[in-house]
Structure 1
Amino acid sequence: MRFLFAPASVVFCFMLAVLDTPFLHGEVAEGWMDGIRPNIVFILADDLGYGELGCFGQQKIKTPNLDRLASQGMRLTQHYSGAPVCAPARCVLMSGQHLGHAEIRGNRDSGNGRKFPGQWPITDELVTIAEVLKAAGYSTGGFGKWGLGPTDSSGGPNRQGFDRFFGYNCQRNAHSYYPPFLDSDEEQETINQNPVPGHLKQPTGEVIADDFRGEVYAPDRILAEAVDWLGKNKENPFFLYLPFVEPHVSMQPPQEWIDRYPASWDEENGVYRGENGYLPHPRPRAAYAAMLSDLDEHVGTILDRLDDYGLSENTLVVFTSDNGPTHGGRNFRFHIGGAACTFFDSAGGLKGYKGSCYEGGLRVPCIVRWPGKVQPGSTSSMPSYFPDWFATFTTISGGEAPAHQRCDGVDLSPELIGQGTPDRERPLMWEFAGYGGVFAIRDGEWKAVRRRTKGKKPADWELYHLATDPNESTDVAGLHPEMVERLATQFSNERTAEPDFPQPLLDD
């Protein structure tokens, strides 16, 4: 078992990347960028589906700020998360390692005995992108949901390269938007004297939204801290990581946004009483849309501050999501928490939801704005995923990759600035330890998925040709056994065992 509560990260020395590192080291990057290092803002939504933004085809929910961001930059239409649930996706993002190499391969609590203990921690030896950027001279701030280890463990954000962190360290504390406290660096700041638990039911009686609201709405408090930090660090290169918590249920959005959506939506489908987990709500469809619009408004606030400070022209902004939209529950009229993912076609027609390694669980909206570099209103259909951001940010910052840590991504900057699509020598892959165990691998136009990998009767490999069947409607494994064998072999060869997240099918 990994030692959970290590001291602060050991001092490590970055070395020049070895020759087979799949991206450029600092000297090359500096010459390519003419010595100008951009600020980096990375905004990560929580459980936002591929089809939930106007710029990705949403017809009902209002997302004007993100639609504007897309018009000013590039939409990546085949971008994938690192995992189909929260913690492992964030590990992949921070480490640049896919799920076959990542330290965290599923949601798992650290088990340190607290009410909100935090998740299984990444180790002291792991080098995060925040550490790379900090070593390159960037100020580093994280505001939102962490999920990679309690503050006093090796995985705490302040011990993994962040100068400042404010938000939810523990994912379970983030189940309520009116929690008892938020984490401020390695301390806890009480924000609600009368917090609202994230899991309640109301089987009978009138459901009133205000009954599930407290004094301080955490997303607004987190945003205020992020804006304050941005103002204090605007004179130097900075990395602003914003893992916002919306639209992850519970549904507790501001009433003003709920009131902007039609009452007829919920007259048709009825009140949600908490039967699929999380909190009840009288207008669940409007509330779900309101969460997305509130998220959009927070993104707009960050973009406005960049404009106010004259930083937009030299700031790379990335917006994406940690996985697909939440899946269904026992009451078929609602998804988990009362979410209206069917009504809004949240997965954008793709197969599967959160927790699935089908396209709907992994493919996420992604927008990149970089004035003067990225063509406004452009799109990229290059398959890309979370490990690529480690490589990309290392390159454009003039940072140096850790020689001891294999990075599985490719530098996306040539694709972003229109200088050609980079070659990807290794397939995209996912080894997920949750939901019974799921494997997935994509190489070119082909994708293979294997479910129930931790069960007594693992499913066979499924095969999909995404170029002709992006919705994964037809399993063609029986027609192409040679392709199945090739991808299965690639998967086995492209992974290492992780004892904290075992896969009996491959590790025995």
Structure 2
Amino acid sequence: MKYPSRKKQAWLSMALLASLAVAAVAEPAKPNIVFILADDLGYGELGCYGQEKIMTPNVDQLAKEGLKFNQHYTGAPVCAPARCVLMTGKNLSHAEIRGNRDSGNGRKFPGQWPITADAVTIAEVLKAAGYRTGAFGKWGLGPSDTTGSPIKQGFDVFYGYNCQRNAHSYYPPFLDSNEKEVTINEHPIPGHKKKPEGEVKASDYTAENYAPDLILDHALQFIDDNKDQPFFLYLPFVEPHVSIQSPQEWIDRYPKEWDENREYRGQNAYLPHPRPRAGYAAMISDLDEHVGAVLQRLKQHGLEENTIVIFTSDNGPTHGGRDERFNIGGADCEFFNSRGGLRGFKGSCYEGGIRIPCVVKWPAKVKAGSVTEMPSYFPDWFTTLAGIGGAELPSTKLDGIDLMPVLAGRELPKRPEPMVWDFHNYGGIVAVREGPWKAVRRNLLNKKKSVWELYNLEVDPKETNDRAAAHPELVKKLERFWLKNRVVEPDFPIPAVDGKTSLD
């Protein structure tokens, strides 16, 4: 575990003084910022990205009224590191969290490995710039009794799941309210259970309170409470991450024939479900309905024009399991074309694991119905949102660029450095993208053969034609950049890579 220094505290004091000086000069009201993060939502699971079976009218409308990114990427192919990259603006070769890892502090739901007191989050810089900050959903960057607590990392208010494993159930025993655990179900449902025999009933896996609805209620109350001042609302919603425990009214809207003779009994982890295809689609539609509720509340208070709303996902859809008829948790990602034809799933640095949907609406600045092909990724949001909010950037190096020219439809900015993913789960994976070229190397944490692959995404977005042998000099260039610029992270080591200048 790392220990804090006084560096961040000094920077925050300077940023606050700077914001007060700016506030003394009359200027238009700062725009509100709403950042909605779905959980394990695939590139092809929204109507605006080609989905033909799942109903997502609210996000589709968001895309019609705003900008759709066709080549947007997460910061990592699983939950915690993706959120670390998003919150801190540092790619995985510089981020403090580079894989999912529990904090190990002894509780049943201990929370994930915490970011340190030195980490500067986008919430902190916006708060120093005069924003009211609230987070509602799944955190995953450190328990309440550590430096990683959202309340210690710039958020005035937090309500939801601190620990990702507690979020495996939509009817958990408790949720975290600021830094206290609040019981929501006297008869909670565990997130994992098998039913080898007998009738599978969805009603057997429900309890008194459905956590996503409680989270939404608190988020809407935050908008109500702060409608007269600038706010940053971070909404890391938990759907459609399994277990499949969607509302029955949504399940009933999908065809029963989808699931004839397809009961899921928990054999690929998480909870059983009698209609897994309908249940999975229902989770995405319920998520979409929650997005609609947020948009409606902004409209109710007359905040639409001066609010930027970003909707995206933390990584690609869930991968396969032992029973090949189902993905993990009973999902069927082939049936729904969840990857949008891309290669790989969650946990992979191929496109299906890291390319994600992203739509942005901001009537004051963003042209309705616009589309961009510019590659972008999570580190860009720190720099972009800080600029939008008039916030002071931290002195430490950030890895993103300002996307404001993209949002405004102006000339696309040039990215000075390649995009990097330095991932420490699933065997250890690195990916480096520069222009149309993307290099991938797997198995860095085990003894399996590790070789570079190279793909030209402009002509081969499905990554079917490895061009590494034809372009060895380009592979070596991307490798050198990654190794020269990466920072060794002792809490997430890759012995085969740490300290190396070449992998030959």
| Deviations 1:128-154, CA, capped at 9 Å, x for gaps | 000000000000000000000001100
Mapped pair 1:177 → 2:170: yes
Q: Mapping of 1:66-465 within 5 angstroms?
A: 66-267=59-260, 270-403=262-395, 405-465=396-456
Distance 2:439 2:29 in 1: 41
2:45 aligned residue (52, 56, 66): 52
Distance 2:262 2:362 in 1: 43
* Structure 2 runs not aligned, ≥5 long: 500-504
Distance 1:74 1:277 in 2: 37
Distance 1:288 1:239 in 2: 30
* Residue 7 of structure 1: how far off its partner (Å): 11
* Residue 11 of structure 1: how far off its partner (Å): 2.8
Q: Secondary structure of the residue that 1:13 maps to in structure 2? A: helix
Distance 1:367 1:12 in 2: 36
Q: CA RMSD in A?
A: 1.9
Task: Describe the shift of the 1:460–1:26 C-alpha distance in structure 2 as closer, same or farther (beyond 3 A).
Answer: farther
How many residue pairs are counted as aligned between the two chains? Answer: 494
Task: Show the counterpart of 2:502.
Answer: none
Distance 2:33 2:496 in 1: 40
Amino acid at match of 1:215: E
Amino acid at match of 2:298: L
Task: Describe the shift of the 1:325–1:101 C-alpha distance in structure 2 as closer, same or farther (beyond 3 A).
Answer: same
Amino acid at match of 1:328: G
Query: Is the 2:193–2:266 Cα contact (8 Å) retained in structure 1?
Result: yes
Task: Describe the shift of the 1:326–1:8 C-alpha distance in structure 2 as closer, same or farther (beyond 3 A).
Answer: farther
Q: Secondary structure of the residue that 1:11 maps to in structure 2? A: helix
* Residue 422 of structure 1: how far off its partner (Å): 1.1
| Deviations 1:198-237, CA, capped at 9 Å, x for gaps | 0000000000000000110000000001111110011000
Task: Describe the shift of the 1:16–1:180 C-alpha distance in structure 2 as closer, same or farther (beyond 3 A).
Answer: closer
* Residue 13 of structure 1: how far off its partner (Å): 2.4
Amino acid at match of 1:2: K
Distance 1:327 1:108 in 2: 19
Mapped pair 1:13 → 2:6: no
1:493 aligned residue (484, 491, 497): 484
Query: Is the 2:19–2:128 Cα contact (8 Å) retained in structure 1?
Result: no
Distance 1:174 1:8 in 2: 33
Amino acid at match of 1:505: A
Distance 2:433 2:485 in 1: 12
Task: Describe the shift of the 1:72–1:233 C-alpha distance in structure 2 as closer, same or farther (beyond 3 A).
Answer: same
Distance 1:26 1:422 in 2: 27
Q: Secondary structure of the residue that 1:131 maps to in structure 2? A: helix
Query: Is the 2:89–2:398 Cα contact (8 Å) retained in structure 1?
Result: yes
* Residue 494 of structure 1: how far off its partner (Å): 2.3
Query: Is the 2:69–2:371 Cα contact (8 Å) retained in structure 1?
Result: yes
Task: Describe the shift of the 1:16–1:150 C-alpha distance in structure 2 as closer, same or farther (beyond 3 A).
Answer: closer
Task: Show the counterpart of 2:496.
Answer: 505
Percent pairwise identity? 64
Q: Secondary structure of the residue that 2:288 maps to in structure 1? A: helix
Distance 2:5 2:402 in 1: 32
Q: Secondary structure of the residue that 2:357 maps to in structure 1? A: coil
1:472 aligned residue (438, 444, 463): 463
Amino acid at match of 2:63: A
Task: Describe the shift of the 1:500–1:256 C-alpha distance in structure 2 as closer, same or farther (beyond 3 A).
Answer: same
Distance 1:26 1:383 in 2: 32
Task: Describe the shift of the 1:15–1:9 C-alpha distance in structure 2 as closer, same or farther (beyond 3 A).
Answer: closer
Amino acid at match of 1:274: G
| Deviations 1:450-497, CA, capped at 9 Å, x for gaps | 000111234100000000100001111111111111111111122110
Task: Show the counterpart of 1:22.
Answer: none
| Deviations 1:323-358, CA, capped at 9 Å, x for gaps | 000000000000000011110000000000000000
* Structure 1 runs not aligned, ≥5 long: 18-24
Distance 2:12 2:218 in 1: 31
Query: Is the 1:92–1:98 Cα contact (8 Å) retained in structure 2?
Result: yes
